[in-house]
A = this chain, B = another copy of it.
Amino acid sequence: MTNPSIQDFGPVDNSSSPHSLLRTVPYPAVRIQAGFWAERQALNRTVSLQHGFEMLEKAGNFHNLRMAAGWETGNYSGRNFYDEDIYKWLEALAWELGSGPDETLQRMADEVTNLICAAQQPDGYLNSYFQVVEPACKWMDLDHGHELYCAGHFFQAAVAFHRAVGDDRLLHVAVRLADHIDSIFGPGKKEGACGHPEVEMALVELYRAAGDPRYLSLAQFFIDQRGKRKMRGWGPYGPEYHQDHVPVRQAGELAGHAVRQMYLTTGVTDLFMETGEPALKEAIDRLWQDLAGSKMYITGGVGSRYEGEAFGESYELPPDQCYCETCAAIGNLMWNWRLLLLSGEGRYADLIERALYNGILSSPALDGRHFFYVNPLMVRQGGSLRLSTNGPDGTELSGRPQWHEVACCPPNVMRLFASLAHYLATTDPGGIQIHQYAAANLDLVFGSGRQVALRMQTEYPWQGSIRLDIDRSDGDPWQLRLRVPGWSQSARLSINGAALEAPALQAGYLAVERAWQAGDVVQLELGMQPMLIQANPRVDATRGCLAIQRGPLVYCLETQDQVNSVNLLDVAIDPLAALEPRWRADLLGGLMVIEAGSQVTETGRWSASLYQPFLPSNPPQSAQKTRLVAIPYFAWGNRGLTSMRIWIPRSP
């Protein structure tokens, strides 16, 4: 059993935040033990982190820092924000080392920690691009320089080492860097904010970890700088590209670069958690309504437009030309996590689940060594997929690239997977809340030191049954809250074998308060019938289409699984035919496929034409019955790239 102490919280430590309903749990207090996520965490730990190390060396990121440290000479490689790839990867190392020691990971961490310590300037400044390439231009190009963005990611890595393993070497670097930034920016000093929001949430976390209220003030300062329209945008993209189009408190809709927008709203939510300023919460609530009501894909992905990597208009959600950058979905998850902490409402946890199992999980290949940057919901021809900001160089990709010129996404996935246990449960003074389901052990402390141990067993997301064994409890009553996902059509709860009659949902949770005893067994059956989903009729791009979902997983069709590799442009799903799930141990590491009744439309009548008069009396197009086989969306593109679609036309 762990002995949680104040310094080892996960990515968010709101233990002292005044405006938060739920508390995050100490970092090693929840341990994923088996099943779906344990496998993915093991892959992340043993394969992806090493892969990241090699790629960061190959792409020159480490070399850049070594030049800043004066250890090497040569040319700077890549973009001016290459440091941040290192920092997110480093943060992942921290969380993994917090889960258990590992010689290889520790050696990598030490090597890079030493490098960063050596690279920092005496005045606290740290950024390899400006140290090596443009030393005279520090803090001069806030729009595109990414200095504060890199600093923010560094703060998060430093805080992670502090919390996960009690290693404060980087935290000292971070404090010196933050103090340096504080000496430059603020009221009466330099004005402006980073073109790429990130430092805001990181400064709040640094404030929580290091305790200095100047960092919180600085976060607020940067947030208050937004909306002055001083930034000109980039290329054809206006000030919303840099999130400078509207003051944060006046924001009414999500706009501009999706990752930047998500990171900004996350930082604003962090700030509200500390200050409780109503105007911030009102703005956040408006933006969330805009997200959930008009701008989010069924995968939890966001960003409808390639150009500007940006949000589109309300209801502009094309499945084929969406951007859905992995980092934007992760930003979506981070933002909703903070909203959940504020409010305890299940709709935010639902959204976290949606993004996690679909728009985020689609990024890494099953081998842990390849990553999608964009996550489209439809691909007509695999070869023409625009997968990466690298842009096509003429070679056709056969799957996820192993790295990217702009490699923000892979290490973002790594740090999320490494810290995933953080997002499973919280506490409040009266008990425990379970938000996400995985086979895990939970050793939790709530109220005034009340200790509880639980074991969660489940084959989630493949099965909707969850068993909770209470292994330790103090005999006094406390409340257990279990999330019932929005997709669950028939949640049933039993305690020690006795079914609870019509348990009431409270904000998306079943809440049971009793004097729990060690040995108590809770069983939750969520029901996981496959279902068809339709989109709001205002979403033009998916009109007349249905998507298959089972539990949290959104499904897709991939050519490889279909009878005669039928053209996915010509299939139509029969909404009246049963959807049949089938476990396929042989397929893609083992997964549940879903078979659906459908037909293949005969398109001969169109004979290479695009437009024809509509005649109501026309006989329906002849169609041939067939079966469609759908796989979970996250698994697509692991057998070469052919065609894929989530939204399937509905037969008349």
Residue ranges of A at the interface with B (Cβ–Cβ < 8 Å): 229, 233, 235-239, 245, 289, 292-294, 296, 298, 305-307, 312-321, 378, 380-381, 384, 386, 389-394, 487, 489, 531-541, 543-547, 569-570, 575-576, 601, 603, 606, 608-614, 616, 621, 647, 649
Contact = CB atoms under 8 A, between A and B. Distances in A.
Given A603-B537, A609-B293, A609-B536, A616 B575 contact: yes
A606 B289 CA distance: 13
A293 B380 contact: no
B235 A534 contact: no
Q: How many copies does the complex hold?
A: 2
Nearest to A297: B610
Contacts of A576: 616
Given A315-B380, A616-B575, A536 B394 contact: no
Contact of A537 (B534, B536, B616, B649): B649
A545 B543 contact: yes
A575 B614 CA distance: 8
Given A532-B614, A533-B614, A235 B391 contact: yes
Contacts of A394: 229, 238-239, 245
Contacts of A601: 537
A583 to B, nearest CB: 23
25 contacts: A236-B390, A238-B393, A292-B608, A292-B609, A293-B609, A294-B608, A298-B611, A305-B321, A318-B318, A319-B540, A321-B321, A378-B540, A489-B613, A531-B613, A531-B614, A532-B613, A534-B611, A534-B612, A534-B613, A536-B609, A537-B603, A537-B606, A540-B541, A544-B544, A547-B611
A237 to B, nearest CB: 6
Given A313-B381, A569-B315, A611 B238 contact: no
A448 B211 CA distance: 97
A237 B238 CA distance: 21
A607 to B, nearest CB: 8
A594 B390 CA distance: 48
Nearest to A650: B614
Contacts of A294: 608, 610
Nearest to A546: B614
Nearest to A347: B609
Contacts of A305: 306, 321
A236 B391 contact: yes
Contacts of A237: 391-392
Contact of A539 (B239, B608, B610): B610
Contacts of A378: 540
Contact of A380 (B245, B316, B603): B316
Given A576-B616, A610-B296, A318 B238 contact: no
B391 A238 contact: yes
Contacts of A614: 531-534, 546, 575
A392 B238 contact: yes
B238 A608 contact: no
Nearest to A392: B238
A576 B618 CA distance: 12
Contact of A610 (B535, B606, B608): B535
A313 to B, nearest CB: 5
Contacts of A543: 543-545, 649
Given A535-B611, A547-B611, 5 more contacts: A239-B394, A313-B384, A532-B613, A534-B611, A536-B606
B608 A293 contact: yes
A329 to B, nearest CB: 15
A510 B245 CA distance: 59
A544 B319 CA distance: 16
Contacts of A545: 540, 543
A621 to B, nearest CB: 7
A611 B533 contact: yes
Q: Which of A294, A541, A649 has the most CB of B within 10 A?
A: A541
A613 B533 contact: yes
Given A316-B320, A321-B316, A391-B236, A612 B540 contact: no
B537 A621 contact: yes
Contacts of A296: 610
Nearest to A547: B611
A534 B544 CA distance: 14
A601 B298 CA distance: 22
A609 B547 CA distance: 16
Given A321-B305, A321-B316, A610 B292 contact: yes
A649 to B, nearest CB: 6
- 7 closest A-B pairs (Cβ-Cβ)? A236-B391, A293-B608, A544-B544, A238-B392, A532-B614, A534-B614, A538-B569
A613 to B, nearest CB: 5
Contacts of A239: 394
A327 to B, nearest CB: 17
Contacts of A229: 394
Contacts of A489: 613
Contact of A318 (B380, B533, B541, B616): B541
